[in-house]
Amino acid sequence: MKSNKNLIFDAQHIWHPYSSLVKPSSIHEVVSAEGVRLSLADGREIIDGMSSWWSTIHGYNHPRLNDAAKSQIDQMSHVMFGGLTHQPAVDLVRKLIDMTAEPLQYVFLADSGSISVEVAIKMAIQYWFAQGFTSKQKLLTVRNGYHGDSFGAMAVSDPENGMHSMFEQVLPKHLFAPAPTCRTDEEWQDSDIAEFRQLLIDNQQEIAAVIIEPLVQGAGGMRFYCPEYLRQVRALCDQYDVLLILDEIATGFGRTGSLFAYEQAAICPDILCVGKALTGGYMTLAATMCSDKVVNGIATDGTGALMHGPTFMGNPLACRVACASLDLLLESDWQGQVQAIEQQLTNELLPYQSNEIVKEVRVMGAIGVVELHQPMDQYMDWLSEFIVDQGVWIRPFRNLIYIMPPYVISSEDLSHLTTAIGAIIDRLSL
């Protein structure tokens, strides 16, 4: 009875992501979580194929992460970061510097992924402003990208195919090249980078930075592309003297098979955004990292003060859990886990390619995507309930059914997820 009351109240008063209060979406109440499973108030248990939007890489209710949070909360849960510091922040920044490319020596601890992108954009614009290049205010990116829901992040997400087209008139205008089309380096053709290169040549006096999601375009379409494209982008940024921002919020910490996706292209960004899996899904926390070049450029005006400072920046509780999460990741066989997931996803999802409603199946690391020919919008009223009835939690959007499971998932539970995707496809085929 209590659960029913909660769901009724929720439907009447609580706004969920990308949902309507006039026509509320189907909602399920979670009462606890353990490993890869969510326990619902109605007594059912479902396998989470989404890692709570790609963050809970170690699964739920992990004892080491629980212990980190419990021990920190007895010391202090929060203290302002303006003029103060603390051990969890120092430890976390040291770990981030040690695990990323050598030039990335400076870290701004942000509240969320969207805010880390905002900070990166500010860094890039301020870098040029401090040096007197006040015309360099634009960013160059590619279509089908997604960088967050705040206004700066929305402005560099796809303006037509993205989720923010209604705000087009109030967003800053940036430059968009075609999305990468190469899947492997063997498929590389120079024409794939031609329009990007020309936009850079034509607008180099106005471009402060390039921003791009390396190898995987996430919420903009779950598209994959080859490392050579990234190498070309890095070379062009060097040639025409613009900064390179890599948004690894979704791909960072092992999701694509390397610790960071940029490693597969053997490049280093000037600015790096990380988040999501940073705390293993326990707390909201992100970071924007940068090089000497960026710090020294911003300091050209004699101050070097970066103009950003969130209230909960460097939250000690989040930093402490993030330290434990990164230790847990590096001590584990995360590469073996991700490789096993990749192989199993390939074996079990690829047969769905033969279904006439399926456009393409693609897999990279611990990411499995089934793209349909048509969007599923008209089926959403029943599809969420159908998915839960399969004993899983998968959240399709547009024409995409995809999973990004926790790295600790067993082969049996992963098969349960891939079988459920098959059931969804079969149901949609009727």
Q: What amino acid positions are annotated as catalytic residues?
A: 18, 146, 247, 276
Helices 191-203 and 227-239, axial angle in degrees (round to 10): 20
Within its chain, how far is the Cα of 76 from the centroid?
29
Beta strand pairing status for 37-40 and 45-48? antiparallel
CA distance 134 to 372: 45
Going by C-alpha positions, the residue among 60, 237, 220, 209 that lies closest to residue 148 is: 220
**Whole-number Cα distances in Å, 151 to 118, 119, 210, 399, 406:** 8, 12, 17, 26, 30
Q: How far is CA 136 from CA 143, 200, 235, in A?
A: 21, 12, 19
Return the H-helix or E-strand segment holding 9.
helix 2-13
H or E stretch including 141? strand 138-142
Strands 392-393 and 45-48: parallel
Amino acid at 69: A
The DSSP letter of residue 399 is T
Taking the CB of residue 204, how many other CB atoms lie within 10 A of it? 15
Question: At residue 244, what is the residue type?
Answer: L
β 400-403/106-110 pair status: unpaired
Alpha-carbon Rg for the chain, nearest whole angstrom, is: 22
Which residue carries 């705390």 as its tokens? 279
Written as six digits, the tokens of 283 are 């707390």
Tell me if 321 sits within 8 A of 280, measured CB to CB.
yes
Q: Which helix (H) or strand (E) holds 68?
A: helix 63-73
- CB within 8 Å of 5: residues ≥ 6 apart: none
The torsion angles phi and psi of 92, rounded to 5 degrees, stand at -65, -45
Rounded Cα distance between 40 and 46, Å, is: 8
- Provide the CB-side half-sphere exposure for 423 (13 A, CA): 17
Residue that has been written with the tokens 């990335």 in this structure = 104
Are 338 and 365 in contact, with CB atoms under 8 Å apart? yes
